Amino acid sequence: ASQSRDEVVANDNGDEKSSRRFIGMKSNRVRKSLSRSDPVLNMKSRFKRRQSSRQFQALKTVGSVQPDCSFTFDKKKSFFVPFVNQIGYGQSSITKPPFLNDSRIQAMKCFEWLINPHKPDAFFKNIWEKKPLLLKRKQRDYFAHVFSTAEFDKILRDNHIQFNRNIDVTSYVNGERKTHNPDGRAYPAIIWDYFQNGCSIRFLNPQTYSRSVWKLNSVLQEYFGSFVGANVYLTPAGSQGFAPHYDDIEAFILQLEGKKVWRVYAPGNDTESLPRTSSGNFSRSQMQDREPLMQVELEAGDLLYFPRGFIHEARTTDETHSLHITLSASQKNTFGDLLEILLPQALQSAIEDDIEFRQSLPHDYLNYMGVANQEMIDPQRYDFLAKMQTLIGKVMNYARIDSAIDQKAKQYIHSCLPPVLNEESKKSSIHLGGEKWVNGEVKGAIELEPDTQIKLIRHGVLRVVIEDETVRVYHTLENSRVYQEFEPQFIDIGADKAPAVEYLLKTYPQYVNIEQLPLDLLEDKLDIANLLYDKGLLTVIMENESDMESDR
């Protein structure tokens, strides 16, 4: 659990390859804010980004004593956090544990916490997409700070929560599944009236309103490389809200309160295994000949995982209600989904490049091809099939797999939740740092200098994508907590500045001086650093504190 990844640092060869990959592409002018594009305002604010380095001292690693770290819950932050024993804050013996510097390690440790004591390597080798996993912890408060019924009630009171959009009221009685949603706002009194009358409540997007769920999902999405969603289910005692069905997601059931009895069934056939769409409701007659693969009672702190395609149903016990949250991963994140992007691109390139793809079909091909002719013994038919196999093989020669993966990553970045930033990251970036209105004037400017140290605010917040004859940086910082509420957010940087962004990705989580960026001109290095800083993608460490103090 304490194992960390080796730091990856770009070398000269890697930089040269990176530069060569963008040779010949059009350079796109970097978008700048008004103060950076206006020649008059530019005199005062071109690289003005100044702030006292006192705010950044905590970012520096000093000394060599490794602290004793483990995980616990912080009630104020509503999430699991590391606590450090006797490391002497304010002294030279501080060393920050790697998971506080590297978002990838934080994501890995978050998943380890989720499936503890199971190990991730064993999970993905033996369990993932193959069979269910039950973890009985006998630790009722293990998920206590993820979400609660009390928080749900507060969300109902403090926000304009709507039926259908945010809330479903459901029941499953005598084999019949019903939805009871009225129109309009879901007032707390209405929700609790339905609940007292035996209905289940499904909260569809808790990450939009709950900071703890938002943080959990945003960290896990970097680990899975796919959007991690969530639904919360509140069910009264002695009831069931949903019919047997299977889903199109990998499901992690976190039991938060009370108890619930689950029945999980293996897929009925190959078509139901790892499906791309969820099923409808199965009737009791359809289920009567199926034996459950497992029947288990979940208590607070327990976890149940099952792959997509596994039919499931759940019912509360007679003595208590149940609250659980379902985390969903890997929806439409398969090799098939990647090929849906790759093959059309490859075919288009083949048609443009190879005249054989543009030749006309034989004038009489309808006489020997088609379903009606599939049993025909005809040399023309055999020649036609051979020709098609040759062309299909040629298409794969035009498959730009890395380009297709970048387009898949673009879809992922668009669907991502924005990151939850801690106070330290905010203060060392544009989110809380920089200019402020203080006592009738603007103060606190930050100036990025060649020796200013920078790094990406998180590793998984951006992706460099080549498209439309330029290079774009797609990022998650301006995404909404509502799924794909906004259009994809990107910055045009042009091919000439792309190596600098790649360098920051390769050197993460290390801080590097701006002058180290692999660009020829210092002005270009400062331009790309300012552009990324202005979009909230960089954290910085400032030097020359005495000079900055004199500017106040």
Domains of the chain: 103-329 (2.60.120.650), 335-399 (1.10.10.1500), 402-540 (3.90.930.40)
Cβ neighbours for 126, distance < 8 A, ≥ 6 positions apart? none
Determine the Cα–Cα distance for residues 433 and 539; give it in Å rounded to an integer. 10
- Strand, helix or coil at 69? strand
Determine the Cα–Cα distance for residues 341 and 67; give it in Å rounded to an integer. 46
Q: What is the pLDDT of residue 446?
A: 85
Q: Which of 143, 156, 354 is nearest to 253 (CA)?
A: 143
Q: Which of 274, 259, 246, 368 is nearest to 318 (CA)?
A: 259
Q: Which two tokens stand for residue 481?
A: 């907590």
Q: What is the pLDDT of residue 434?
A: 85
**Torsion, CA 264, CA 267, CA 273, CA 276, rounded to 10:** -70
Query: Phi/psi at 370 (nearest 5 deg)?
Result: 110, 165
Q: Which of 506, 447, 456, 479 is nearest to 47 (CA)?
A: 447
**Cross-strand pairs, 72:** 81
Strands 490-492 and 470-475: antiparallel
DSSP annotation string for 300-334: TT-EEEE-TT-EEEEE--SS--EEEEEEEE-TT-S
**pTM score, two decimals?**
0.81
Q: What is the pLDDT of residue 268?
A: 87
Q: Which two tokens stand for residue 193?
A: 């009236």
The crossing angle, in degrees rounded to 10, of helices 103-115 and 211-224 is 100
* Omega within 30 of 0 (cis) for the link into 206: no
CA angle 375, 377, 381 (to 5 degrees): 90
Q: Which of 255, 264, 260 is nearest to 307 (CA)?
A: 264
CA angle 546, 548, 552 (to 5 degrees): 115
> In which residue ranges of the chain is pLDDT below 50?
1-95, 544-552
HEC sequence for 151-178? HHHHHHHHCCCEECCCEEEEEEECCEEE
DSSP annotation string for 349-361: HHHHH-GGGGSPP
The residue count of the chain comes to 552
**Is residue 544 a contact partner of residue 525, using CB atoms and an 8 Å limit?**
no
Q: Which two tokens stand for residue 242?
A: 């949903």
Q: Which two tokens stand for residue 110?
A: 């978050």
Q: Which two tokens stand for residue 261?
A: 């009895």
Q: What is the pLDDT of residue 520?
A: 96
Q: Which two tokens stand for residue 163?
A: 């039926």
DSSP H helices, 81-240, are: 98-101, 103-115, 120-126, 149-158, 188-196, 211-224
Q: What is the pLDDT of residue 74?
A: 44
Indicate the residue type of 84: V
**Is residue 26 a contact partner of residue 470, using CB atoms and an 8 Å limit?**
yes
CA angle 237, 239, 245 (to 5 degrees): 135
Determine the Cα–Cα distance for residues 435 and 228; give it in Å rounded to an integer. 35
CA 140 from centroid of its chain's CA atoms:
28
Q: What is the pLDDT of residue 469?
A: 83
**Is residue 454 a contact partner of residue 533, using CB atoms and an 8 Å limit?**
yes
Q: Which of 379, 360, 357, 359 is nearest to 368 (CA)?
A: 379
- In which element (H, E) is residue 17 found? helix 12-21
What does the DSSP 8-state code read for residue 49? B
Q: Which two tokens stand for residue 549?
A: 């103090």
Strands 250-265 and 68-74: unpaired
DSSP annotation string for 496-543: GGHHHHHHHHHHTTS-EEGGGSS-S-HHHHHHHHHHHHHTT-EEEE--
Q: What is the pLDDT of residue 334?
A: 97
Q: What is the pLDDT of residue 444?
A: 84
**Is residue 167 a contact partner of residue 209, using CB atoms and an 8 Å limit?**
no
Determine the Cα–Cα distance for residues 186 and 169; give it in Å rounded to an integer. 10
Cβ neighbours for 320, distance < 8 A, ≥ 6 positions apart? 237, 258, 259
- Other C-beta atoms closer than 10 Å to the C-beta of 80 total 21
What does the DSSP 8-state code read for residue 278? -
**Cross-strand pairs, 513:** 453
